[in-house]
Structure 1
Amino acid sequence: MSTLKDMIFDLSEANGTPGEEGEISNIIEKYVSKFAEVKKDKFGNVTADMPAGEKTILLDAHTDRIGMIVTGIEDGGFLRVAKCGGTDTRVLAAQDVTIWGKEPVYGVVTSTPPHLSTPEDAKKAKDFDAILIDTGMTKEEAEKLISQGDRITVRCPHGEMENGRIFGAALDDRAGCAAIIRAAELVLKEKERPSVKLLFSGQEETGGDGAITGSFNLDADECIAVDVSFADAPDMPSEKCGKLNKGPMIGVAPVLDYRISQKLKATAEAKKIPYQLELMGDSTGTNADHIAISKGGIRTGLVSIPQRNMHTGVEVIAVDDVESTAKLIAEYILGGGLDA
């Protein structure tokens, strides 16, 4: 029987950059189809319906991961690329990558040795226009397997650390996907609960289009969006960060329904689930911003999993924070949601 950690690793290893979420959507379908009917819409979103009471609570997490897109093939088999989502150029040099062509092709982002770098080179990361990927092939060989528009992801085998922490690529937001699957499993057998709909949305990393279209098509009375947020580390502003192993971060922001935030907080305290607050004076930078204004508006809350090294190939989370996120959401649902 797979554990929550196994599921997170399974989800995080999958391809699925914005607009190319096919592989990850199939893996999510494998898990969710065990307890609910799964559908896929025209935009590539994965949805599932768990009917029960009259009220409907929507749970959302995004499936896509950051990456790159091939814009050209140069002499020597080097690839020109553009970012696909919020890829951080500061950590790309010398990274090994997978090019998702006619078959997977492994490559390496080029890096200038320090002996040949100028003082100016040392002060800044390369612009994306200057990044090249070495495929080890000739141009002619590369063109047989790789085309403009193919996607690229950083390779990073997952691993475990002390204190129940794990690392890997795409934990943003595959950890969130795992959390809402786990929450759905926790409420599955309870009959006296609101109906639940699951939305695994695409293209969050390029603007949240999947959440916009997906939530429009799903009639919901309220929503809880799940994403990752900043976890503290040296030189990070503590007021903007949560802590690993201290529970989910309950969002408070103008776009979020304050009563949902308060109900989540009260639920955590009543059920002795560890939690933290994430206070934001503007938008949240997550799908919650889009779902809240879908159709005539959907009352929306946000629960985030603390994460270090966001938008890199070695993102770090604590598995117990994912479990606590799932438990909090499940207890909120079993408590009837807002106005119960």
Structure 2
Amino acid sequence: MDIKETVISLSHLKGASGYEISAAEKVHEMFSKYCPKYEIVGQDNYVEYFGEYDENLPLLVLDAHIDQVGMIVTYVTDDGFVKVSNIGGLDRRLLPAQPVVIHGKKDIKGVICSVPPHLTSGGTEVLSWEDVSIDTGMTKDELEKYISLGDSVTYDVKCRELLGNRLTGASLDDRCGIASILLAFDMLKGKKLKYNVAAVLATQEELGERGAKICAYAVNPDIAIAVDVSFAYAIGEDERKCGKLGHGAMIGISPSLSREISDNLINTAKKNNIPYQIEVMEGLTSTNADRYSVSRGGVKTCTVSIPLRNMHTPVEVIDLKDIELTAELLADFIKED
């Protein structure tokens, strides 16, 4: 499979938390060539079962969330400006002058209003959500034909290539995790496996791992790996708290995770000469792993994260090499030696 084209196509799917159905349906189509069986759990959570089921094997879940951060329409002013609030943890520092799309009866393009520097008195404060307005160029009466309160809003950006193996765009968190699972499944075709494997395309992660909580209970796996993103080092950040782009997957170690699974992933990487990084967390992981580890009687859980810069912005940056190395790690962990 062409991993670059896969990541780009995934990043262009629109699906803010709670509004994932269109994206979920399209991603389901991508998994159908590997997964003969699937189920929909709760609100649009697709569970894709890889290959043939063997009742003698334990069930391993690879979880990647399908939602992205975004905004929700709260009001339309008499002047035709669209007021919004956040869906998930958007960085408000970047909002002014950003192009956006309102997903109503049809998509309406707009831009977030920005006060010119000539009209400000010195420094500009970070916008509060009460001050965020979208200009579409339409009147209130025109807008009300196409949009409604509660419609979702996402950044209007395309995924673009940078130098080397790097891409930049929105929603790479966590579409690159989905891409790595797809690539791992491609690598596992025709292989003998140690586990029954299910990919969980979880919704509403950005609202508190809600989809994962439902799926953890319903699917009831023996082992779960949350395939997500984590912080990649950039200028001004603490290197000790970040991974590095192009250096491989970040294997999680935390009191809230299974050290057994962490060690097995590390040993798999060493045995197969797969570059990897260690991500130490002192408590909860702020990923879907937190929901699996305490579901029912507890699930052996770990995180495998792809380094990403500029998280929750329209210019997230990833290295395709890390997605490929993550897929290799997952595939070698799953297949028989």
Scaled by the length of structure 1, what TM-score is found? 0.95
Match of 2:16, SS state, is: coil
- Aligned residue in 1 for 2:15: 16
Asked if 1:107 is matched to 2:106, the reply is no
The amino acid across from 1:312 in the alignment is T
* Deviating more after overlay: 255-264 vs 99-108: 255-264
CA distance in 2, matches of 1:250, 1:63: 21
Matched residue, 2:40: 40
- Identity in percent: 41
> 3-state SS of the aligned residue for 1:276?
strand
Amino acid at match of 1:201: A
Tell me if 1:181 matches 2:182. yes
* Residues 1:155 and 2:143 are matched in the alignment: no
TM-score by length of 2: 0.96
- Say whether the 8 Å CA contact 1:43–1:213 is kept in structure 2: no
Residue 162 of structure 1, CA deviation: 1.4
Instruction: Give the letter aligned to residue 284 of structure 1.
Output: T
The alignment of Structure 1 onto Structure 2 pairs a total of residues equal to 333
Q: Which residue of 2 aligns with 1:94?
A: 97
**Equivalence for 1:5:** 4
Cross-structure match for 1:58: 61
Question: Structure 1, residues 145-176: CA drift from partner, whole Å, max 9, x if none?
Answer: 11000000001111111120011110000000
* Unmatched 5+ stretches in structure 2: none
- Aligned AA (2:134): I
Comparing 47-56 with 109-118, greater Cα deviation is found at: 47-56
- What is the CA deviation profile of residues 94-129 of structure 1, one whole-angstrom value per residue up to 9, with x for unaligned ones? 00000000000000000011111133x52x311111
Paired letter, 1:67: G
The separation in 2 between residues aligned to 1:35 and 1:200, in whole angstroms, is 14
Match of 2:206 in 1: 205
Distance 2:227 2:319 in 1: 15
Instruction: Compute the displacement of 1:217 (Å).
Output: 0.8
Amino acid across the alignment from 2:167: I
| Alpha-carbon offset, residue 39 of structure 1 | 2.3
Write out per-residue CA displacement over residues 132-155 of structure 1, whole angstroms, 9 at most, x where no aligned residue.
000110011011111000000001
Displacement, 1:291? 1.1
Which string of whole-angstrom CA distances, capped at 9 and with x for unpartnered residues, describes residues 40-80 of structure 1? 22321011113235211111000000000000001221011
Matches within 5 A, 1:178-257: 178-257=179-258
Match of 2:70 among 51, 67, 70: 67
Structure 1 residue 264: deviation in Å? 0.7
The superposition leaves residues 219-263 of structure 1 with CA deviations (integer Å, 9 ceiling, x where unpaired) of 311011110000001101111100000001011111110111111
Q: 1:277 and 2:278 equivalent?
A: yes
Equivalent residue of 1:125, what SS? coil
Farther off after superposition, 324-333 or 177-186 = 177-186
Report the CA distance between 1:290 and its aligned residue: 0.9
Residue 27 of structure 1 deviates from its aligned partner by: 1.5
Q: Tell me, yes or no, if the aligned pair for 2:41 and 2:214 is still in contact at 8 Å.
A: no
Distance in structure 2 (CA, Å) of the matches to 1:193 and 1:102 = 47
Distance 1:279 1:69 in 2: 34
- How far off its partner does 1:7 sit? 0.9
Deviations along 1:11-48, whole A, 9 cap, x unmatched? 11011111110111011111111121232223210111
Paired residue secondary structure (1:205): helix
RMSD: 1.2
Listed as ranges, the gaps of 5+ residues in structure 1 are: none
CA distance in 2, matches of 1:34, 1:178: 14
Q: Which amino acid aligns with 1:14?
A: L
CA distance in 2, matches of 1:207, 1:34: 31
1:162 aligned counterpart, secondary structure: coil
